[in-house]
Amino acid sequence: MKFAATVPLIRLASLSLIAALSVLSPTHAQVPTLTPNSNQAQPIDPNDPNNLRPVTQNSSVLSIDGGKRLMSEAESAVSSQNFDTAVKKLQEARVVFNQLSNFYQELTSSFSGIDNRVADKQRRKALETAQLRDEATYRLAVVHRSQNKPELAVPLLVQIVKSQNPTRDLGKKAYQQLVELGFVDSPTSSGGNASKK
């Protein structure tokens, strides 16, 4: 008698467990739901933590587009003579591009010797984001220079020369800035032709 009475309880517990698992299912989290009286899918709630989306969307800050958007906002701030905002946006862009470059380098190392096609693609991304980081750094140094803050501009310019190499365009421009600031007094043979910006 006791056994027969517990069977419905076991079934009920099993159904509750199945229902709970179906709610937690990743496919449930990603598929739009249909309302009972409509054939149109309801939009997925962006605040739902179960809503899994790729970070490469344009809205993500941790992306190449996100970093470029920050640089564009900084450029607009410079045009409006709002240098404090420009500095903030360029500092954020530097952080984004530096993180991306580091992440892509780590992926390159992880796939090296396992899948060279993936490793090469990640290596190119690491180089691209490092270049963008240095461009953001250069723009930040120029903004600091326009604010008459050479003590903030010089370390950034030295970083660029080290990262880019004095023979590359951005490295030459950074070194020329150091010459114009009077931090170095040995212009390179091609440094005099580099533009300020």
pLDDT at 23 (0 to 100) = 38
The rounded percent of the chain whose pLDDT value lies above 90 is 59
Domain ranges across the chain: 64-193
**58 falls in which pLDDT band (50, 70, 90)?**
low
pLDDT over 50 (residue 16): no
Cα(80)–Cα(75) distance, integer angstroms: 9
The predicted model gives 184-192 an average pLDDT of 70
| pTM, to two decimals | 0.66
Residue 136 vs residue 191, higher pLDDT: 136
Spatial neighbors of 26 by CB under 8 A, at least 6 apart, are 50, 52
Written as six digits, the tokens of 169 are: 């365009």
Q: For the domain made up of 64-193, give the CATH fold.
A: 1.25.40
Query: Per DSSP, what are the bridge partners of residue 34?
Result: 41
The predicted model gives 165-169 an average pLDDT of 91
pLDDT at 48 (0 to 100) = 57
Least confident of 36-40, 50-54, 139-143, 157-161: 36-40
Spatial neighbors of 13 by CB under 8 A, at least 6 apart, are none
- Contact at 8 Å (CB) between 28 and 22? yes
pLDDT over 90 (residue 190): no
pLDDT at 62 (0 to 100) = 87
Classify 34 as helix, strand or coil.
strand
Cα radius of gyration (the chain): 27
The model's pLDDT over 107-160, given as tens digits with 9 standing for 90+, comes to: 999 998 999 999 999 999 999 999 999 999 999 999 999 999 999 999 999 999
**What are the φ/ψ torsions at residue 41 (nearest 5 degrees)?**
-75, 140
- Contact at 8 Å (CB) between 141 and 151? no
**47 falls in which pLDDT band (50, 70, 90)?**
low
Classify 41 as helix, strand or coil.
strand
Written as six digits, the tokens of 122 are: 């990640």
Best mean pLDDT range from 32-36, 40-44, 48-52: 48-52
